[in-house]
Amino acid sequence: MKLAYVLSGQQPALGVVRALGVMGIPIVVMYYKDEDVAYLSKYVTHGVKSPHPETHEKEFVELLLKSAQEFGDGILFPASDEALVAVANNKELLETHFDVPVPDMDIVQRFIEKKYTYEIADKNGIPAPKTITPTCLEDVVEYAKGIDFPCLVKPSQSHLFFDHFKRKMFPVENEEELISVYQQSAEAGLEVMLQEIIPGDDINVVNYNAYFWEGEPLVEFTAQHIRNAPPWWGSPRVVLSKDIPEVIEPGRNILKSMGFSGYACTEFKKDDRTGIYKLIEVNGRHNLSTSLAVACGINFPYLQYRHIVEGELPKQSDYKKGVYWIEIISDITHNFQFLRQEKYSFSEYLRPYINPNVFATFALSDLGPYPKRLFIPVKKVFGAVSRKFFGGK
């Protein structure tokens, strides 16, 4: 049986590992961050500490090829943007040892660099928030004159921005804040976009998950964000499987317009002013809540494995609605941190835990990754206290 090489050790990678592992697929995890946990899963045959694919791409690819010689050829599952870019940049070389179900780099750029995503959406009539990509400070000042604050400063390349700022975006309240964030981004060499805020709570954000092939959707799955971390501007901490027909056509349209094939999670947000779902981003890899679709009956990583390795074309099947995915540590910490701002009732907080659910990291059948995941926020708090009182780094 051909090996699956999961590239990254973050929570999206853990979802892929478990989805393939329960089907008996042997797995190699290439991990490179201190907080990685996927390599600790019982389903992992080999865990390999690797150079970071963004900062040491050449070395990362060389180790990947060396691992193929040591463990055997396989199929690649990039589970982070930086791993995806490294694979796309070296696709021809990697195809000497691997099945590489990753689009060519020209297509990858269309969703990795969000400015291109919005250009494609605009050309194809897909609703999206009003967005500009400033090229200089004068553009920012001019933009500030014609908008109503607050607005968002968002990255063109999300993974680079998050690595630097440890957040997905900045909401800014006035021109002074806007200029400050822009200048910080420019000094870090990060291209940003200025974007209107789509009014609405976290529940207005939804995912269109699809396995796309030759311009057609083969399998589709939709879900609704319930709570994000941080609220309004962050990644999901609670997600609910749900039928959301309004995003099917725009989801298909953007992937087809990109020329995309493979698995993607496309995010939309409903505008409270109009009721229209607007495109937020396309993630052309397995996403944070991968295990939700699996728990509902659609195992996207295994469908992709069977398709690429065995030639079996995936087919749509029904899936369970009303199942929650929970990133429990993030949910609990943000519940306390934003208790007054979010204003959820106790029953609303509790509902995901007493209904059918699956946890992002915790699993009785695979406990290995959880202790390390549990330790990460403790380590962050200890580090913050140390810096405050002792001046540590």
User: How confident is the model over 243-282, as pLDDT tens digits?
Assistant: 999 999 999 999 999 999 999 999 999 999 999 999 999 9
What is residue 383's predicted lDDT score, i.e. its pLDDT? 55
pLDDT band, residue 384 (cuts 50/70/90): low
* Vertex 172: Cα angle to 167 and 173 (nearest 5): 150
Residue 387: pLDDT over 60: no
Q: What is the mean pLDDT of residues 50-73?
A: 97
Confidence band of 160 (pLDDT split at 50, 70, 90) = confident
pLDDT at residue 386, as a whole number? 55
Structure tokens at 72: 């055997």
Cα–Cα distance measured from residue 171 to residue 261, given in angstroms and rounded to the nearest whole number = 33
Q: Say if CB 366 and CB 42 are below 8 A apart.
A: yes
Distance of CA 346 to CAs 51, 325, 332, 339, 357, Å? 44, 18, 13, 10, 18
DSSP letter, residue 29: E
Share of the chain above pLDDT 90, in %: 81
With contact defined as beta carbons under 8 Å apart, do 159 and 82 qualify? yes
Q: In the predicted model, what is the mean pLDDT of the chain?
A: 93
Please give the domain boundaries of the chain with CATH numbers for all domains.
3-102 (3.40.50.20), 130-196 (3.30.1490.20), 204-359 (3.30.470.20)
308 vs 335, higher pLDDT: 308
The pLDDT value recorded for residue 378 is: 65
For 339-375, the pLDDT digits (tens) are 888 888 899 999 999 999 999 999 999 999 999 999 8
Kindly list the strands in the beta sheet with 192-196, ordered across the sheet, starting from the edge strand earlier in the chain. 131-132, 192-196, 151-155, 170-172
User: Looking at this protein, which amino acid is placed at residue 113?
Assistant: E
pLDDT category of residue 380 using cuts at 50, 70 and 90: low
**Among 48, 47, 45, 43, which residue's Cα sits nearest to residue 21?**
43
What confidence category does residue 156 fall into, taking pLDDT thresholds of 50, 70 and 90?
confident
**370 within 8 A of 18, measured Cβ to Cβ:** no
Q: Kindly tell me if the per-residue pLDDT of 381 is higher than 60.
A: no
Rounded Cα–Cα distance for residues 314 and 298 (Å): 10
pTM for the structure as a whole: 0.90
Cα first-last separation, the chain: 46
Classify residue 332 by burial, with Cβ atoms within 10 Å: 0-12, 13-18, 19+: middle
Pairwise pLDDT comparison (171 vs 376), residue with the higher score: 171
- Give yes or no for a contact between 27 and 3, defined as CB atoms under 8 angstroms apart: yes
What's the confidence (pLDDT) of residue 316? 97
The pLDDT assigned to 253 comes to 98
Neighbour tally for 222: CB within 10 Å: 23
Q: Average the pLDDT over 71-87 and give the result.
A: 97
Strands 74-78 and 98-99: parallel
Comparing 36-45, 92-101, 160-169, which segment has the lowest mean pLDDT?
160-169
Region of 262 please: left (phi>0), alpha (psi -120 to 50) or beta.
left
Lowest mean pLDDT among 34-43, 80-89, 110-119, 139-148: 139-148
**Per-residue tokens: 163:** 């690595």
